[in-house]
Chain A
Amino acid sequence: MLKNNFLEVAKKISVIENNHSKAKEIIDGLPEKSYFVVGITGSPGVGKSSLTNIIAMKFLEKGKTAVLAIDPSSPFTGGAFLGDRIRMKDSASKGVFIRSLASRGSVGGLNPSIYDTVEFLGRSGFEYIILETVGTGQAETDIKNIADVIVLVLSPGNGDEIQSMKAGIMEIGDIYVVNKMDLPGAKSLYAKVKSILELSNKNNEVLLTGMAYKETIYDLFDKINIELGKKTHRNSVKNKREINRLLNVVLKEINDNCLNCESLEIIYKFIREDLNEGKKS
């Protein structure tokens, strides 16, 4: 598969991940482009990778597509087990670019370089970028700042569904998916999600999906596209993404030249939180 620029892209992602001053150079050297970011998020074992596999293939029919699959690093050893490719064989063989990222320094977050990596992929010609991630804690904030559309995936019997509702993760989704629809408990989970959304006066889409029922996943794909088509919303996300990315760049540069940066971290956090408030209002 030499027809594309995957080798160059892959190498530069490593540079961006490991050296942020070079990251700036790389990104600034590329012209800005328009691209879409879809977040697919949910607890381990709900079937995110299998859904991503199919959604990515559908996007590939429309344009160049990349998947960033992010899994947590161990806070003790720094190591990580990244197994998402197992379920993305089909999209990989069709030409989707897949990169596994460990969360590294960002405790509970996506990956410190995620803003840059996404922007770099966008400027490198990827029109559709899918972020697959366990969306809790800091990752929740991160994905809100990056994705144009967030698909929150749940599955019955996963045990932590109540947990996610408590943790407020139920608030971040644009589209809600109850996967593994043929498992017992899927229908009731579906009803539960609906009623929670109704209680908070939200009328987001809630879908039932299952790997054996491809049409349900194609339906999800259509719904994602409808969300992506909502321009006003997209523009605000795009701005936010760029602001956050630049903030990150600034922070890292200050970090490099400053011994005690705690106060700056706090300021940075405030700015970020303000941005998020902005989305809600």
Chain B
Amino acid sequence: MDYKKIKEREAKWSEATLNKVLKRFPERKETFKTSFGEGIKSIYSPLDVESEDFLSDVGYPGEYPYTRGVQPTMYRGKLWTMRQYAGFGDAEESNKRYRYLLSQGQTGLSIAFDLPTQIGYDSDDEMSEGEVGKVGVAIDSLKDMETLFYNIPLDKVSTSMTINSTAAILLSMYMAVAEMQGVSPDKLKGTIQNDILKEYIARGTYIFPPKSSMRIITNIFEYCAEKLPGFNTISISGYHIREAGANAVQEIAFTLADGIAYVNAAIQAGLDPNVFGKRLSFFFNSHNNFLEEISKFRAARRIWAKIMKEKFNVTDKKAQMLRFHTQTGGSTLTAQQPMNNIVRVAYQALAAVFGGTQSLHTNSYDEALGLPTEESVTIALRTQQLIAYETGVSEVVDPFAGSYYVENLTNRIENEVNKYIDKIENIGGMVKAIEEGFPQKEIGEAAYRYQKDVEKGEQIIIGLNKFKSEDEAKNEVLKINEEVENKQVEKLKKLRKERNNDAVNENLSKLDEAASSGENLMPFIFSCVKSYATVGEISNVLRRNFGEYNESIIS
């Protein structure tokens, strides 16, 4: 390409054509900006991707650096997995919802647990009051898990569990249920979120200090490498980082920096990154800015491949690939004119598909009002099916490649992300950076800036600060039966009476010893679970050993 000629021509165009118009008709805004504050020009041309080398930077799907996707055929081969995050009330109700979703064509399960389960409290703990069954299903013991997967053959579905601090316990329960169904562990497919670092940064369901949490995570890595080869043992999540207010660059930077910390921890535990690298998966947010989000996903794949290859000397192709799940941005939903959310979700989902996601959750339009109803969840799922079967976008791989703007933005995001990653390395890695409150502070400030932009009207949100309507129709939201808590408490009472408490105590004290001795905790947790020790009892043993974490805020 003759860049000199293009440069001349572009200067001429700007002078003769563009400026003439601008003088008479100025643009709508003085500056146009990306979510991370960089300027956007009115046009992009080959000059803006001059430094990019097609073969080494863009290349072909299924090949390093995977900018265009991790499989050569992408959605022509197999559509993404449509996976709606669900769970509420007790195990029985959630089981019904799962079986409904599977019957509607959903292809994977995604389990939402309530907060006590996620933070290691039993339903009858004082800390659990009012929270039981609210944001997900309440699981106290293996008994509940048996009910949750009743009549769902675990060798036929892939199950994703949003569980972090107590991931070892819930995964053990899942294995125990499989055992009862006669399904061997190597047949199990799915993902546990198990990403504790982002809990300290953004989501808040941590229990222990970072060091002990990292130990549990590497214990899970080690154990599963042998026992559960088909399970993704971590889903390194930027979703919640974005929800907490991060911009696109921060989302990718902090997530990949978390990833680096996990790889380092696993290597220290003696694992081969070529092997466990294949079991790492990622989880991102798809936000409003359509082209920026597509670029973001492409950049993330390329950066991670380079990190794995160059920093960790990983040669296995699968271990270099960044495979990810996407959820549309929950914080973009408005309580005002909630039906508009259906449209927002559709665009966000489309960006994720253009970005090459492996699985997708589309939010329900009523989630800014409360928990989604069955009707709204169905529309969300239909949105994905519509994209997959009607729009035609799944018939070609990475169609935005070669767009001067998207390629340029992909490169710029990569640069900005790398700056953050270097900064974090300088602090001493992500665990240290979190203890120092660095990512928390950056995100908090970004969130505040964003909110101020919304209030100044610089960031437009339809129905909220523009095109408002006076009378809002009332919306039905799902009501969680307050009886769930009592029911769980009753079940626990019964369980504690009926189970073999000697066996429980023996297993718990063995876990206690293992926690202080440094052995792999997984086999001990598995035994506890099988003897019907509760989530709270197991967590308390670990609390006594590891202590509890207090958040880091530096004002």
Q: Do A and B come from one complex?
A: yes
Q: Which residues of A contact B (CB under 8 A)?
A: 44-45, 50, 71, 81-83, 86-87, 89, 157, 183-184, 212
Listed residue (B550, B553, B554) with the most chain A CB atoms within 10 angstroms of its CB: B550
Residue in B209, B432, B551, B555 whose beta carbon sits within 8 Å of that of A183 in the complex: B432
Q: Is the Cβ of B550 less than 8 Å from the Cβ of A45? A: no
Which chain B residues in 183-224 approach chain A with CB under 8 Å?
209, 211
Residue in B209, B428, B555 whose beta carbon sits within 8 Å of that of A83 in the complex: B555
Complex Cα gap A82–B554 (Å) = 10
Residue in A45, A89, A184, A212 whose beta carbon sits within 8 Å of that of B437 in the complex: A45
**Chain A: CB-nearest residue to B555:** A81
Nearest-Cβ distance from residue B426 to partner chain A, whole angstroms: 9
Which chain B residues in 267-322 approach chain A with CB under 8 Å?
none
B436 beta carbon closer than 8 Å to chain A: yes
Nearest-Cβ distance from residue A56 to partner chain B, whole angstroms: 15
Q: Is the Cβ of A86 less than 8 Å from the Cβ of B437? A: no
The 4 lowest CB-CB distance pairs between A and B, nearest first, are: A81-B555, A83-B555, A45-B554, A83-B553
Contact A87 to B554, CB < 8 A, known contacts A157-B427, A157-B428, A183-B432: no
Q: Besides the contacts A45-B437, A50-B550, what 8 more A-B pairs have beta carbons closer than 8 Å?
A: A45-B436, A71-B555, A81-B555, A83-B554, A86-B550, A183-B428, A184-B428, A212-B211
Residue in B209, B211, B427, B554 whose beta carbon sits within 8 Å of that of A44 in the complex: B554
Contact A86 to B551, CB < 8 A, known contacts A45-B437, A157-B427: yes
**Chain A: CB-nearest residue to B428:** A184
Residue in A86, A89, A183, A212 whose beta carbon sits within 8 Å of that of B553 in the complex: A86
Chain B contributes a number of interface residues (CB within 8 A of A) equal to: 12
Nearest-Cβ distance from residue A52 to partner chain B, whole angstroms: 13
Return chain B residues, CB-CB under 8 Å to A86: 550-551, 553
**Chain A: CB-nearest residue to B426:** A157
Q: What are 5 A-B pairs with beta-carbon distances under 8 A?
A: A45-B554, A71-B555, A83-B553, A87-B550, A212-B209
Which chain B residues in 508-555 approach chain A with CB under 8 Å?
550-551, 553-555
Complex Cα gap A44–B438 (Å) = 13
Q: Is the Cβ of B550 less than 8 Å from the Cβ of A89? A: yes
**Chain A: CB-nearest residue to B212:** A212
Complex Cα gap A86–B506 (Å) = 37
Complex Cα gap A87–B427 (Å) = 22
Complex Cα gap A71–B555 (Å) = 9
Return chain B residues, CB-CB under 8 Å to A89: 550
Complex Cα gap A184–B429 (Å) = 12
Cβ contacts B411-442/A at 8 Å (1 or 0 each): 00000000000000001100010001100000
Return chain A residues, CB-CB under 8 Å to B432: 183
Complex Cα gap A82–B555 (Å) = 8
Return chain A residues, CB-CB under 8 Å to B554: 44-45, 83
**Chain B: CB-nearest residue to A211:** B209
Return chain A residues, CB-CB under 8 Å to B551: 86
Nearest-Cβ distance from residue A30 to partner chain B, whole angstroms: 33
Nearest-Cβ distance from residue A153 to partner chain B, whole angstroms: 14
Complex Cα gap A235–B427 (Å) = 44
Return chain B residues, CB-CB under 8 Å to A83: 553-555
Complex Cα gap A2–B436 (Å) = 37
Nearest-Cβ distance from residue B128 to partner chain A, whole angstroms: 18
Complex Cα gap A83–B427 (Å) = 23
Listed residue (B209, B211, B427, B436) with the most chain A CB atoms within 10 angstroms of its CB: B436
Return chain A residues, CB-CB under 8 Å to B555: 44, 71, 81-83
Nearest-Cβ distance from residue A202 to partner chain B, whole angstroms: 30
Complex Cα gap A71–B553 (Å) = 14
Nearest-Cβ distance from residue A147 to partner chain B, whole angstroms: 23
Complex Cα gap A157–B433 (Å) = 11
Return chain A residues, CB-CB under 8 Å to B427: 157
**Chain A: CB-nearest residue to B427:** A157
Complex Cα gap A165–B232 (Å) = 50
Complex Cα gap A157–B437 (Å) = 13
Complex Cα gap A87–B211 (Å) = 18
Complex Cα gap A183–B555 (Å) = 22
Return chain B residues, CB-CB under 8 Å to A82: 555
Complex Cα gap A7–B150 (Å) = 54
**Chain A: CB-nearest residue to B441:** A45
Return chain A residues, CB-CB under 8 Å to B211: 212
Listed residue (B551, B553, B555) with the most chain A CB atoms within 10 angstroms of its CB: B555
Complex Cα gap A44–B437 (Å) = 11
